[in-house]
Structure 1
């Protein structure tokens, strides 16, 4: 049967029972603990954790914190995705620069210096600045994420009640 001969499938008509079950499970997960402030807080926690240099642990830490406080774990996980590969180097650079300003060691890190230095040496040299700066970068982005998520969730929540 060619593609043209198949009945149309769309977002409202899943192809198999497994897909329907998966969608139902995801929908339920997204609805858990979803008042707009709690949903926004879960995303903000994920974003904050995602800005730290704790690669490989972001999801585990954010989900653990969300579960501990009864927040939406899926939203917290989604927030950690701020550190996806295209953004991670930019977050690291911003964190190291901010950390350098706070610690008084600014100006040490340039893209040229990174290119010429072995990655492990870059990490060893700038880890303190990275950690300190990630708090500031993480807080800033977490506040923005909270506000955006809250506004979107509030609007959607209001629409669902009508």
Structure 2
């Protein structure tokens, strides 16, 4: 039973990693995931990220991983940055947020959060997307170099 489950899990994992796994596709997938992860749809990030990956035909695993940018540690900082930037765009000045009055300002904060999602979430998506693309490109180059080395060793040209 356990062996069967492990085999199935490994097969799903390998298929998920291989789904549209070119460096450019991985970069786009992570960027989409990060953008979704920065949105106010906190309880639904996974569902929204997977739906967006399916809609845009990107790698669902990497999109989900990108959406994990929003977690218990980073959420307050991302939310405050988006609210502040959104408020600045809407009114032209920075917002003073008093933790005692937050519940009274929920509607305004949500509007500012949505406005701030575009510049802050977009910038983070761009940053993490380019980083993921570069890392995937580097991974592919290393794999190609290792394969070429193995092929030349097997042919007897080295050594």
- Where on the TM-score scale, by shorter chain, does this alignment land: which range? 0.7 to 0.9
Gaps of 5+ in 2: 148-159
Q: 1:82 aligns to what SS in structure 2?
A: coil
User: Is the contact made by 2:36 and 2:49 (CA closer than 8 Å) also made in structure 1?
Assistant: yes
Give matches, 1:55-94, under 5 Å: 55-94=42-81
Where does residue 130 of structure 1 map in the other structure? 113
Q: 2:131 aligns to what SS in structure 1?
A: helix
Deviation sequence 1:42-70 (CA, Å, 0-9, x none): 11000001111111222212211211222
Q: Which aligned segments of 4 or more residues in structure 1 are displaced greater than 4 angstroms?
A: none
In the aligned structure 1, how far is the partner of 2:27 from the partner of 2:95?
A: 36
In the aligned structure 2, how far is the partner of 1:106 from the partner of 1:23?
A: 52
Gaps of 5+ in 1: 1-14
Where does residue 18 of structure 1 map in the other structure? 5
Answer yes or no: is 1:35 the counterpart of 2:36: no
- TM-score normalised per structure 2: 0.82
Over the aligned positions, Cα root-mean-square deviation in angstroms equals 1.7
Q: Name whichever structure is richer in helix by fraction.
A: 2
User: Is the contact made by 2:31 and 2:66 (CA closer than 8 Å) also made in structure 1?
Assistant: yes
Deviation sequence 1:103-144 (CA, Å, 0-9, x none): 12533333xx02x1254x342231111110111111000011
C-alpha displacement of 1:159 = 2.0
